[in-house]
Amino acid sequence: MISSRTFTFRDKNLEPIWDKVRSGERLSKEDGLALFASDDLIGVGRMANEVARYKSGDAVYFVLNRKLEPTNVCVLSCKFCDFAVRADSEQAYEMTLDDMLSKLRPDLHEVHITAGLHPKWPWEFYIDMVREIKTQFPNVDVKAFTAVEIDYFSKKFKKSHEQVLRELQQAGLRTMPGGGAEVFSERVRKELFKQKIGARTWFEVHKTAHRMGIKSNVTMLYGHIETIEERIDHMLQVRDCQDETNGFLSFIPLAFQPGNTGIKTRNDFTSAIDDLKTIAVSRLMLDNVPHIKAYWVMLTAEVAAVALNFGADDMDGTVGEERIAHDAGAISPMELAKNKLISIIHESGKLPVERDVWYNPIELYPKKEWSVVSKMPYLNSVPFYQEFESHLNDIKIAPLIPSALGKFARDGVATAGPLSLRDFMTVSEDFERLDYGIAVKGKAHSVLLFSKYDWSELKGKRIGITADTSTSVELLRILLEKKHAISDYKFERMKRESFRNDYTQYDAVLLIGDEALRCAYSGGFAGFNLMYDLAEEWCSWKELPFVFAVWAVRKDAPEAVKNDIVRALEHSLKASTGHYAETGGEYGRLLGMSSSQVEHYLNTFRYRFSIDEHTAMAEFEMEYESLKNVERAFSLSADLQSV
């Protein structure tokens, strides 16, 4: 269930739509049209804000990024494009590799590259571009080339889409931008950009990328000649593709800038009402796309701040630095842009979260008076948050995977959350334990070792470890060394963005949370014939439950905050107990699980702790401390902390 809130709408047509949204039912095309037709803008925005809170808590993401447009020379001349010129134009420019490198700095996390379709540049130049950036700036993730460019490379250099993407991926490409989508309408395409690829090729390229583990964004250019129905159709096509590949990270509605295109008069911009409604409707229609972006450079800071309460949860990044740098004074443009983003997000009452290209949180920037509580973004944690958010004041919710919560707890930024047991052990001086957490006696179904070998054959084998874990990796170590007497094994931390093709290089792979569930419910993956449930292994060995996470609150947190958290947990657990199919239905549906599977899964967990769970925690701590190679365990975990 997405929300238990009831709203009073000025437009009564929104009531049945809200009933669908709050229960996690997918909206239809007619619902989308009704949302656009409604004059109850606030009503539409409140619904979208509830969905965004369900997905991202109070977090609003931004990234330290830089946009590179290596050339404006393009072989096409799309009607709406105010950027491209012919090679012989006075405005034509071409950047060298050195020009590009000189624009980057090591503290960036993303470089976003798109350009005109250059008639002469050789294939090697593009490969060198990606490789050189990755070599000189290893921390900068390369997000490059729209589907239009990929298709152009494919035709020009006589390579398949897959070959083009494979070579770029090998050079260091991590993700793709979502440009070139415009509006997926043949009518609009024929009118405005008839030489450019249409929806079929655009999706073909993105689906190929997604299959290869290259995630991407998707844009929608609105506010020109498209109809509202065409906007909704665009969203529905994105939703269908996402059902198939789960490869889109964010949806970006882009307001059309008339400029000198001649399509509209120069100052005929979209209205703030249209911008806000489009963002809100996108959030409501695209139930399976994780993030909706308010591209602040185009929207203006004022509209973007409001958009963050209309369903957007991402502001892109510091791309607008040059513009801001104009009045920058002594502060570096990047710092200024970052501070500006943080203040816009604060102004909207949300929590700024600096992210990487994959939305892994790098830093949190709460206001001093705010407490940050983690929302574990796994299905097994849904019962904690059913009524949580409506019971908290001055508390901001951030979705943090176990290893990230551990890091932010150690850094003193996170106030409370379901800490992984292993992380709780490292912060127990500063945190107090509550009698809530995630424990299981028997199978957990979501802490799984997929293996090519039996336990007894894992000696000397390479085991890939998910980057999410803090406790399960130590549980695996204990099981290997203490239960199965195997000490000679190699753990290798996998990148968070690893995909299934990467798993095959290992002899066994430890997965947790939703990724483990997804793999288990889709029948595992090729080559790994054995699947061990680590909780079941522990429980049958110790005849005790296994505790994965324990709720803990900073000892120095205000009493009112501690009381609020306990009250919210009680309310949530009471509201969800006996209704797990409903509580986790929406979440499970996106994982491909039926409501009875969700109910069965959630029923396996114990969320309130008794003496049994406390005994189990003590037993785990004892086993963990007694491992002979505890040094090695810490060094691996330290590595994981950087995730």
Across the beta sheet with 291-292, the strand order is 65-68, 110-113, 141-144, 173-176, 215-222, 248-255, 291-292
Residue pair 210/245 in contact by the 8 Å Cβ criterion: yes
Binding part of the chain for ligand SF4, among 76-84, 92-100, 477-485, 502-510 by CB under 6 A, reads 76-84
Task: Out of 15, 23, 37, 77, point to the residue binding ligand SF4 (CB under 6 A).
Answer: 77
Q: Which stretch binds ligand SF4 (CB under 6 A): 71-79, 369-377, 409-417, 479-487?
A: 71-79
Among 24, 116, 172, 513, binds ligand SF4 (CB under 6 A): 116
Q: Shortest approach of ligand SF4 to residue 84 CB, angstroms?
A: 4
Span near ligand SF4 by CB under 6 A; candidates 72-80, 422-430, 461-469, 546-554: 72-80
Distance in angstroms (rounded) separating the CA atoms of residues 405 and 501: 28
- Contact between 192 and ligand SF4 (CB under 6 A)? no
- Range in contact with ligand SF4 (rule: CB under 6 A) among 75-83, 302-310, 358-366, 449-457: 75-83
The DSSP result for 145-194, as a single string, is --HHHHHHHHHHTT--HHHHHHHHHHHTEEEE--TT-S---HHHHHHH-T
* Strand intervals (E) in 576-641: 605-608
Alpha-helical runs (H) found in 184-257: 186-192, 199-211, 228-245
Told to check if 118 binds ligand SF4 by CB under 6 A, we report no
Instruction: For the CB of residue 222, give the shortest distance to ligand SF4 in the complex, in Å.
Output: 15
The answer to whether the beta carbons of residues 57 and 351 sit under 8 Å apart is yes
45 touches ligand SF4 (CB under 6 A)? no
- Rounded-to-integer distance, Cα 248 and Cα 240, Å: 11
How many residues make contact with ligand SF4 (CB under 6 A)? 11
Report the distance separating Cα 44 and Cα 601, nearest Å: 33
Question: Which 3 state secondary structure label does DSSP give 395?
Answer: strand
Residue type, 256: F
Choose which of 7, 9, 83, 499 interacts with ligand SF4 (CB under 6 A).
83
Query: Closest distance between ligand SF4 and the C-beta of residue 93, in Å?
Result: 13
Considering the complex, state which of residue 85 and residue 627 has its C-beta at the smaller distance from ligand SF4.
85
Among 78, 144, 188, 476, binds ligand SF4 (CB under 6 A): 78
* β-strands 447-451, 530-533 pairing: antiparallel
Would you say 45 or 178 has its CB closer to ligand SF4?
178
Q: Hey, what's the torsion of the CAs at 511, 515, 520, 521, to 10 degrees?
A: 170
Residue 81 makes contact with ligand SF4 by CB under 6 A? yes
Query: Phi and psi for 291 in degrees, rounded to 5?
Result: -130, 145
196 belongs to the binding site for ligand SF4 (CB under 6 A): yes
* CA separation for the pair 121, 592 (Å, rounded): 44
Tokens 């990487």 identify what position? 356
Candidate list 2, 17, 48, 84; residue touching ligand SF4; CB under 6 A:
84
Shortest distance (Å) from residue 81 CB to ligand SF4? 3
Residues 60, 100, 117, 176: which binds ligand SF4 (CB under 6 A)?
Answer: 117
Only segment of 77-85, 131-139, 384-392, 580-588 that touches ligand SF4 (CB under 6 A): 77-85
Residue ranges binding ligand SF4 (CB under 6 A): 74, 76-78, 81, 83-84, 116-117, 148, 196
